[in-house]
Amino acid sequence: MSTRRRTLLKVIVLGDSGVGKTSLMNQYVHKKFSQQYKATIGADFVTKELPIDDRLVTLQIWDTAGQERFQSLGVAFYRGADCCALVYDVNVMRSFDTLDNWHEEFLKQGVRPFTLGNVPFYMDCTNGLANLSDPRTFPFILLGNKIDIDGGNSRVVSEKKAKDWCASKGNIPYFETSAKEDYNVDPAFLSIAKIALDNE
């Protein structure tokens, strides 16, 4: 009988429409990939259980329902996040250029600063009022998806460019993935779970 401690972790997945957020989650949780594009509908999140050390982690992964096009995701989406996974498509420059916006948007929505005197404090909306967290240390991860396309010949964002961006944001971990070929999907989500767990 397992006596592992159970831990629930909330992960939100952000990035431009079409980069493969839903596909990555489907591949990770259901081991399925679909070429057909359908704007996400239905459940707010999917869950997957995975053992990490002495814990049984339930990863609750929140997907957008297509509202990312309008950037109106609402507070419930962000509330309680333990990790934020940003996704772009290595073949689409614009999806890389908008990462700054998604990063800022998350910090604005998920981690709110307030001031005492002129000292900024950062309150993690997620874990309640007692928990002060610095946005510079909030756990993000970046996924560069669709590396399978054209055998990598149509990519427009180099690995170096992506890693430089990650370094500029305080050393965000970076994974290159293919939801289609199930490349690096498990390692990326395992890393997400570990990062979120460390942030607990």
Radius of gyration of the chain (CA): 17
| Listed residue (198, 14, 11, 1) closest to 105, CA to CA | 14
What's the farthest any 2 CA atoms get from each other in the chain?
Answer: 55
Q: Count the site residues for Mg ion by CB under 5 A.
A: 3
Task: Kindly report the length of the chain.
Answer: 200
Q: Work out how close the CB of 51 gets to Mg ion at its nearest, in angstroms, rounded to a whole number.
A: 28
Is 40 among the residues that bind Mg ion (CB under 5 A)? yes
Stretch that binds Mg ion, among 39-47, 49-57, 103-111, 170-178 (CB under 5 A): 39-47
Q: How far lies 31's CA from each of 24, 27, 186, 200, in Å?
A: 9, 4, 10, 28
Q: Work out how close the CB of 17 gets to ligand GDP at its nearest, in angstroms, rounded to a whole number.
A: 5
Q: 139-178: which residues touch ligand GDP (CB under 6 A)?
A: 145-146, 148-149, 178
Q: 92-111: which residues touch ligand GDP (CB under 6 A)?
A: none
Q: Specify the 3-state DSSP secondary structure of 137.
A: helix
Share of the chain residues as helix, strand and coil, in percent rounded to the nearest 5:
35, 30, 40
Nearer to ligand GDP, 3 or 35 (CB): 35
- Which residues contribute to the site for Mg ion (CB under 5 A)? 21-22, 40
- Which residues contribute to the site for ligand GDP (CB under 6 A)? 17-23, 34-35, 37, 40, 145-146, 148-149, 178-180
